[in-house]
Amino acid sequence: MIKHTVKKFSPGAGEGGNRGVQKNIVVIEGDGIGPEVTRQSVKVLNAIAERFNHEFSYSYFLMGAVAIDKTSNPLPDETIEASLNSDAILFGAIGHPKYDNDPTAKVRPEQGLLKLRKSLQLFANIRPVATYPSLQHLSPLKTKNIEDVDFVIFRELTGGIYFGKKEVNAENTVASDDCVYTREEIERIAHLAFKQAQLRRKKLTLVDKANVLETSRLWRKVVQEIAKEYKDVAVDFLFVDNAAMQIILNPKQFDVILTENMFGDIISDEASVISGSLGLLPSASIGKGAALFEPIHGSYPQAAGKDIANPLGSILSAAMLLDHFGLHKEAELIREAANWTLRNGFVTKDIDPVNFYFTSTIGELISDYVGGKIPGDINKANVELRKSTII
Ligand code: IPM
Ligand code: MG
């Protein structure tokens, strides 16, 4: 069951019953499989707009390797400008192998995403982790350990070691990256995480390395203070090395995990494989203005253009985007449609390498479902199935 319980994290978002909203969405398809998965989300959003009388307009901009190729800049100014003026950003994926193994490259695709996060002040990255009964056999963990796993990671996204002063000496023999946090940076994401915990199972775990790092000790201090304002939320603290272990040993224990930038990067990838497919998980990055929604998977260059990537991570990110607009009923319908495809075996190659459907077919099925166009007794034989030739 897809039951991401990230609830109403947009302050002021209306409760259901919205009719005819108008929104400007910036679409950044990005690299690798980014374009093909993002196109499925746009299809699904269009089906939602039609059914619920909303008007979504899309404008397309460049970021990542594709932007470097076309403009020599991983994040052209016009992408920043349009994003700042949008209601939300739907983003595909970033990265290209030609930059990965070249430590001397001066320009990298990922710089585009980091700069966009900073420019839009997207300080909170929210990644829900849930498991699905029909995919349990794909999880690297034992079934009994993953049933009912349902937690959400709040990762700080615009501070810490990612954005501290970077130095390398002239001889290229010594390098450093500063890790800096201010009280204000910790407070703003901590409040969001506590509010989310109040809407869920009322448990918050701060992941840090307070036995070693000064920044972690500041996180603990600030979170302990803020906890006094959320007396109904139980707070505990885990060192990141222990947290990495606990996520594998007993992921059910978590409800809301709050952590700094780099620890969040690492444990959220770790957590993402619990469900059985990295291709399924969505994320939201929110801040002061427009929010950004993206699947957590990378650009998967080997699959680019083959119509085999799993579009659910992107489509479920589009559901989070609708939640952010306060369109909860619409978001729920997308999750219901995604569950329906999984239950009925309409899955991509990552989930069933033998009997699989194309990326675009899944996108069409989900948009038909949300558009109310799927008959209850759908004849699977009419939906084109691909069979692997290497069986
Ligand atoms: C992520 C990614 C990025 C990060 C990269 C692409 C810069 O791994 O969104 O988790 O490290 O934040
Ligand atoms: Mg990452």
Encoding tokens for residue 90? Answer: 């739907």
Whether 209 is catalytic = yes
CA distance 260 to 274: 21
Cβ atoms within 10 Å of 234's Cβ, excluding its own: 14
pLDDT tens readout for residues 291-315: 999 999 999 999 999 999 999 999 9
CA 44–ligand 2 middle distance (angstroms): 26
Q: What is the pTM of this model?
A: 0.90
Each as own residue / partner, the long-range contacts of residues 98-105 (CB below 8 Å, 24 or more positions apart, any chain) are 98/65, 99/65
Domains of the chain in start order, with CATH, are 1-138+276-391 (3.40.718.10), 140-274 (3.40.718.10)
| pLDDT reported for residue 13 | 41
183-199 and 214-227 helices cross at what angle (nearest 10)? 50
Among the listed residues 43, 87, 150, 162, the single catalytic one is 162
CA distance 122 to 124: 6
CA 82–ligand 2 middle distance (angstroms): 25
| pLDDT reported for residue 3 | 62
Q: Which atom of ligand 1 is nearest to the CA of 268?
A: 10
Whether 241 is catalytic = yes
| pLDDT reported for residue 302 | 95
Q: Please report, rounded to a whole number, the percentage of residues in the chain having pLDDT higher than 90.
A: 82
CA 384–ligand 2 middle distance (angstroms): 34
Could you tell me which of 306, 388, 341 has the C-alpha nearest to residue 135?
341
Residues 6+ apart with CB under 8 A from 370: 44, 47, 48, 51, 330, 333, 334, 337
Whether 87 is catalytic = no
pLDDT tens readout for residues 319-375: 999 999 999 999 999 999 999 999 999 999 999 999 999 999 999 999 999 999 987
Whether 70 is catalytic = no
CA distance 222 to 130: 29
Q: Which atom of ligand 1 is nearest to the CA of 294?
A: 9
Could you tell me which of 280, 301, 335, 297 has the C-alpha nearest to residue 138?
280
In this structure, which residue's CA is closest to atom 8 in ligand 1? 265
Q: In testing the pocket of ligand 1, which one of 31, 126, 265 has its CB within 8 Å of the most ligand atoms?
A: 265
Alpha-helix runs per DSSP H in the chain = 34-52, 65-71, 77-84, 97-100, 109-119, 143-146, 183-199, 214-227, 240-249, 261-272, 312-324, 328-343, 359-370
Q: Pocket residues for ligand 1 (CB within 6 Å)?
A: 94, 110, 113-114, 265
| pLDDT reported for residue 167 | 98
| pLDDT reported for residue 153 | 98
CA 9–ligand 1 middle distance (angstroms): 22
359-370 and 328-343 helices cross at what angle (nearest 10)? 130
Q: Please tell me whether residue 84 adopts helix, strand or coil conformation.
A: helix
| pLDDT reported for residue 283 | 96
CA distance 75 to 62: 7
CA distance 68 to 295: 22
Unique residue bearing structure tokens 């075996």: 345
Unique residue bearing structure tokens 């983003």: 91
Residue-level length of the chain: 391
Q: Which ligand is nearest to the CA of 285?
A: 1
Question: Is 296 in contact with 268 (CB distance < 8 Å)?
Answer: yes
CA 266–ligand 2 middle distance (angstroms): 6
Whether 352 is catalytic = no
Could you tell me which of 354, 322, 314 has the C-alpha nearest to residue 33?
314
What does each of the 391 residues of the chain score in pLDDT, given as a tens digit? 566 555 544 433 444 455 689 999 999 999 999 999 999 999 999 999 999 999 999 999 999 999 999 999 999 999 999 999 999 999 999 999 998 888 788 899 999 999 999 999 999 999 999 888 888 889 999 999 998 899 999 999 999 999 999 999 999 999 999 999 999 999 999 999 999 999 999 999 999 999 999 999 999 999 999 999 999 999 999 999 999 999 999 999 999 999 999 999 999 999 989 988 889 999 999 998 899 999 999 999 999 999 999 999 999 999 999 999 999 999 999 999 999 999 999 999 999 999 999 999 999 999 999 999 987 667 777 787 776 654 4
Among the listed residues 7, 203, 269, 352, the single catalytic one is 269
In this structure, which residue's CA is closest to atom 5 in ligand 1? 110
| pLDDT reported for residue 15 | 40
